[in-house]
Structure formats: structure tokens, C-alpha cells
Amino acid sequence: MSEVQNICKRYNSFLEALPPSTLEKLPELGVDNRLSPGSMDVSTDEIISREAHEREKEHIWTKAWQMACREEQIPEIGDQYVYDICDKSYIVVRSAENEFRAFVNSCPHRGRQLREYNGNAAQIRCGFHALTWSLEGEIKHLPCLNEFTRRGKDDWRLPQIKTGTWGGFVFINPDPEAESLESYLGELPEHFKRWKLEDRYIVAHVQKICPTNWKVAQEAFMESFHVTTTHPQATLVQNNLDVKGDVFGNFSRQMSLLATPSPQKRGDVSNQEVVDAALNLLPEEEKLLEVPDGVPAREFMAEAQRERLRVTLGDQVDELEQTELVDIFYYTVFPNFHPWGAFNELTYRFRPNGDDHRTSIMEVYYLQTFKEGERPAPNPTTHLSIDQWFSEAPELGNLAWVFDQDVLNFPAMQRGLESSATGKIVLTEYQEIKIRHFYELYRKWLGYDAAAAGAASRPRLVAG
Ligand code: FES
Ligand SMILES: [Fe+2]
């Protein structure tokens, strides 16, 4: 076996790079919840077929907890946010200072969508015949009462669905039988207790239509194996192979070292080159930070980040471990929510583009800290069409070029999967643990398991 292949299996090397005191402070990092070894085959039908999309609508999008918006996007009582998923639409409402409700976005009279856009109103009013509800969903106004004599007022309650909050995000679940959000997330809040995503604000939120199925789009981010080929510039700054991947009920986590070149990066790399790459500097751009001679890049980046955070968080930043200031803690909550841990600013969400199984919506949020008591207003959402690039959203900075490198793969992924001769993809044993975990959950939610899948028609598990 070659040296690089061996490196790909060094599961604990991430932890070995941390001082023991870090693991005493952050015991969650040391948890060993690997998937059992073994590659996994997933049929292309499971990934891109219309049939899979229809099953997702029936078994996932109407049953699973989904992040609908940030609390800060509906800060005032009466603020209403439209969350669309496939052919369904819901309204998330701040109905009281600390109360969120969600309603099916469809008028019980003749079915008109109640809200087409986000906005604020003291009530929910249908634009067709003016039936009107309170923010709690009680009917307030029935025009021409004598026209509706066969139903009492209570029958006109607006159909409400479950909501929950975590980390400053509002989640919805259309399934009245669903377990609580708290139970669904399991130990995720414990992992984030030092990182408090609720104390962040949206400094950027960009939605882009992508030319591939939503699962293909999100899987492009769920491993760092591709960095060597798709983002070769990032091999200067990310040890993308010695990753630690663990699974926890409905979520997974991959950790990797930053400010540390990849084992696949050959030759000497200077500390300055590592720092420039960490800042996503383009070759012609001026340096943002000068690394003094003899200071390791990792130490330099950690202290630069500590001082940056000190402006908003104060001296509590002195308690932060180097790994929290530098490294990648990338979480995925089934089915489509991807909050990054520690003080990285990223969160992603992926979903089908309306009822189209061949295109998707990818969203990038940058969530930044702010001074206590001085929450800034969230920045508005930028919408990019299928023909635009992330780099057309200046608020994303140079990281947008990295997203665009991923997006370049999307149409080729879709066409390649549609043309597949084998009818399947093969997930690696180790580097693609998060994707394997996703498909284990996916099959469970869709009513397939590995044993039954061989007998099922389509989508099916292809014998490896
Ligand atoms: S369809 Fe909504 S009031 Fe008639
Ligand atoms: Fe990527």
C-alpha cells in the first residue's frame, strides 16, 4: 500500500496533533463513533431518479426536521418567512417575542398561497377573498359569514405544523407525529455549547440554483478527499486526508487540521504560503498578514483569529483552544443542514429547487460573532440564478472562488450519473463516511434497509 493510501486511514491523527489538555476541555472531540469499515454502493436511481424525489417528498420533506430560517430573519412580532420545500410551502411566523409558529401556506377556503414573500403583518390575510387569521392561527375575519354557515369558527383554524429552535435557527416539521427537535438533534447542542451559534448574526446569506440534484450538491461538500483535485490551491492549508469522521444518530462530523498542508502536497511549503492560502488569497493579491520568521503557520493563524474574535467576544477568547481557532469541525444534520463548528463562520443548506429533481438550491450563510447586546441586523439574502457564480456575490469574499470550483463539478456530476454504465456509485471506506452515514439514514427514512434493498425494485442497493 502506498504512503498516501496509509495516510487516508490515519483516523486518530487529527487528535494526535492536539495537546492532551485540549481533549480534557473538549471531550466531544475524542469521541470515537466511526462507521464500521466497508465501502458502500448507492444506485444512481437512489440519487437522481424522479422516483427517489417522489419518495423523498413522502418520507423526508414532510416528516423530517428542517432548518427553515434564522430567528434573526424574523426579529419582530408579525415577521413572516416563507419556507418552500419541493411542492410544499410553509409560513414561519414570530407570533410573540419568544414564540415561533409555522403554518401551511395555503388558504383553507380555495387554497390560495397565503404569502408569496417574506414580510411583516399583524395578521395573516389571504389575498383572494380576505379570510384573515391572527398570528396564532385563529380565524379573525370571515367575509360574508352567511356564506360559510356549515362550518363553525373553530373549523377555520389555520393548519399549524411543529416548530423548534436551536442555535438561533428555526426548524419546522410538517409531521404531527414527529419526535421533538430536541430528541432529533440528540447530542448536537452539547457539541456546540462553547460555540453558541445563537450568538451570531448573518453577515452573508447567498442562495444559488445549482444544476444537479440536491444530494449530489451537498455530497460535494461532505468529504475533503476532493480537495486535492478540485481545490488544489487548498492543499497548502488543509490536511484534507487525515480526517476524523464520526456519526451520532441524525448527525455526523468531520474534523481536519487547517494551517497544515495536505500529505499530498509535495515539496516545501513556507509558513507565509500556508497563511496566504488560509486567507484564500489569489496569486496576484497583496498579502493581508505577514508571518514573522520562525512562527509556525498554525500558531500564527490561531493568534490572528483570537485577536479578531477579541474585538467582539472580549477576553473570553483567551479560554479558546488553538484547534477551535483554526481547524475544521464540519457537521451535517440529516437531511440537509450543515452547520460548521467552532468559530468558522460557515453554514450550508441544500434542498430541491421547487419540485425539480435535477436542480437544487444551495445556500451559504456566514455567521459572525458580535459584541454582547449589540446584535447587528442580518444582511439581506442574495439570490443567484443557475447561470450565475458564487463569485458574483461580493459578500462571500474570495471563498466564493472555492465554491465555484465545486459548482464546476455539478453539471458534469448530473450528466455523468445519468449516463452511468454501472448504475451505481461507490463510496470509499473512510474518507466518505459522512456520505455513507447519510445514505444509511436516507434508506431508513425511505423505508429501505440494506438487507431489504436487494429485493426492492428501485431505488435499490446494488451488490458491490
Ligand atoms: S382563497 Fe383564501 S380567502 Fe378565498
Ligand atoms: Fe469543495
Q: How far apart are CA 254 and CA 344, in angstroms?
A: 14
- Ligand 1 close to Cβ of residue 393 (< 6 A): no
Ligand 1 atom at shortest distance from the alpha carbon of 108: 2
* DSSP 8-state code for residue 259: S
Q: What is the mean pLDDT of residues 305-316?
A: 97
Q: Is the CB of 112 under 6 A from ligand 1?
A: yes
Phi-psi region of 375 (alpha: psi -120 to 50; beta: other; left: phi over 0): beta
Give residue 234 CA to ligand 2 midpoint distance, Å. Answer: 10
- Residues 6 or more apart in contact with residue 117 via CB below 8 angstroms: 82
Average pLDDT over residues 140-149: 81
Alpha-carbon distance of 154 to 139, in angstroms, equals 8
Where is pLDDT greater, at 339 or 289? 339
* 126 in contact with ligand 1, CB cutoff 6 A: yes
% of the chain with per-residue pLDDT over 70: 94
- And the C-alpha cell for 307? 485577536
Sign, Cα dihedral of 262, 37, 326, 207: positive
* Non-local CB neighbours of 19 within 8 Å, separated by 6+ positions: 322
What is the 185 CA–ligand 1 centroid distance (Å)? 37
Cα 15 from Cα 341, distance rounded (Å): 16
Would you say the CB of residue 361 lies under 6 angstroms from ligand 1? no
* pLDDT tens, residue by residue, 80-91: 999 999 999 999
- Give the residue, 234 or 309, on which the prediction is more confident: 309
- Per-residue pLDDT, 110: 95
- pLDDT at residue number 340: 98
Q: Give residue 203 CA to ligand 2 midpoint distance, Å.
A: 21
Average pLDDT on 206-227 reads 97
Q: Provide the β-strand partners of residue 66.
A: 172
* Higher pLDDT, residue 281 or 160: 160
| 106 alpha carbon – ligand 1 mean position (Å) | 9
Cβ(127) – ligand 1 distance below 6 Å: no
- The residues with which 339 forms a beta bridge, in sequence order, are 347
Domains of the chain with CATH codes: 3-47+193-449 (3.90.380.10), 66-177 (2.102.10.10)
Ligand that lies nearest to the alpha carbon of residue 406, given by its number in the listed order: 2
Closest ligand to 105 CA? 1
Q: Is the CB of 114 under 6 A from ligand 1?
A: no
Confidence of residue 275 (pLDDT cuts 50, 70, 90): confident
Q: How far apart are CA 338 and CA 349, in angstroms?
A: 6
Selected residue with higher pLDDT from 241 and 98 = 98
In order of 159, 165, 368, 447, the CA distances from 92 in angstroms are: 12, 12, 23, 29
Judged against a pLDDT cut of 90, whether residue 224 lies above it is answered with yes
Cα 150 to ligand 1 centroid, rounded to whole Å:
17
Give the mean pLDDT of 381-408. Answer: 97
Percent of the chain residues past pLDDT 90, beyond the cut: 77
What average pLDDT does range 342-365 have in this prediction?
98
- Protein residue with least CA distance to atom 1, ligand 1: 110
110 lines ligand 1 (CB under 6 A): yes
**Cβ–Cβ < 8 Å for 283, 463:** no
Cα of 65 vs centre of ligand 1, distance in Å, is: 29
Atom 3 (ligand 1) nearest CA = 129
Q: Which-ligand-closest: CA of 227?
A: 2
CA–centroid distance, 243 to ligand 2, in Å, is: 15
Q: Which amino acid is at 405?
A: Q
> Which ligand is closest in space to the CA of residue 127?
1
For residue 126, give the ligand 1 atom closest to its CA: 2
Mutate to test the pocket of ligand 1, among 113, 131, 142 (most ligand atoms within 8 A of CB): 131
412-463 pLDDT per residue, tens? 999 999 999 999 999 998 899 999 999 999 999 998 755 444 433 333 333 3
Q: Quick one: pLDDT at residue 38? A: 81
Span 54-83, mean pLDDT?
Answer: 98
**Is the CB of 24 inside a 6 Å radius of any atom of ligand 1?**
no
Q: What pLDDT was estimated at residue 3?
A: 53
- Which residue owns the Cα nearest ligand 1 atom 4? 129
Q: In the structure, what pLDDT confidence band is assigned to residue 266 with cuts at 50, 70 and 90?
A: confident
Is there an atom of ligand 1 within 6 Å of 128 CB? yes
Ligand nearest to the CA of 403: 2
Give, as one character, the DSSP assignment of residue 295. -
* Listed residue (341, 57, 330) closest to 214, CA to CA: 57
Ligand 1 atom at minimum distance from 129 CA: 3
CA of 132 to the centre of ligand 1 (A): 9
pLDDT in tens, 321-344: 999 999 999 999 999 999 999 999
Mean pLDDT, rounded, for 72-98:
98
Write out pLDDT tens, residues 27-50.
Answer: 999 999 988 878 899 999 999 999
pLDDT at 204 over 70: yes
Burial annotation 84-115 (CB, 10 A radius, 16+ → b, else e): bbbebbbbbbbbeeeebbbbbbbbbbeeebbb
